[in-house]
Amino acid sequence: AQKITQTQPGMFVQEKEAVTLDCTYDTSDQSYGLFWYKQPSSGEMIFLIYQGSYDEQNATEGRYSLNFQKARKSANLVISASQLGDSAMYFCAMREGEWETSGSRLTFGEGTQLTVNP
């Protein structure tokens, strides 16, 4: 069974600084996908970034980058130049298989509450 672990219940960062949110995962599959979502206080889930297990380069999307270390089974999210609007809950998630298949489903971590201070 796959498992996602986010060990930081809460993180604080100063505006304009970078912050790393940790995520480790456990799976016996060779092929899988890793996701990060942002959840503001309104409750909606906003997709941020995706990393496939066979992708050789770390994913980047604007100010978000994913530090993927396959051997260590970690997929940390790095947010550069934090903004006040980045304050939210952040979830790491994993899907078995890089392709959507019948029966594939996302498993979520417990989340990290990020607070950006002015």
Partner 1 sequence: DGGITQSPKYLFRKEGQNVTLSCEQNLNHDAMYWYRQDPGQGLRLIYYSQIVNDFQKGDIAEGYSVSREKKESFPLTVTSAQKNPTAFYLCASSPIWTRTNYGYTFGSGTRLTVV
**Residues near partner 1 (CB under 8 A):** 4, 9, 33, 35, 37, 42-45, 47, 50, 52, 91, 93, 95, 98-103, 105-106, 108-111, 113
In the complex with partner 1, which residue's Cβ is closer, 14 or 47?
A: 47
Please give the Cα distance from 12 to 40 (Å, whole number).
15
Nearby residues of 40 by Cβ (< 8 Å), 6 or more positions away:
46, 87, 88, 89
Q: Which two tokens stand for residue 37?
A: 């979502």
Nearer Cβ to partner 1, position 50 or 64?
50
Cα dihedral: 98, 100, 105, 108 (round 10): 40
Q: Is the dihedral of CA 37, 86, 81, 115 positive or negative?
A: negative
C-beta of 37: minimal distance to partner 1 in Å?
8
Cβ 74 vs Cβ 66: under 8 Å: no
CB of 81 to partner 1, least distance (A): 23
Q: In the bound complex, what is the minimum distance in angstroms from residue 90's beta carbon to partner 1?
A: 11
Q: Compute the least distance from the CB of residue 109 to partner 1, in Å.
A: 6
Nearer to partner 1, 14 or 101 (CB): 101
Output 20 or 108, the one with its CB closest to partner 1.
108
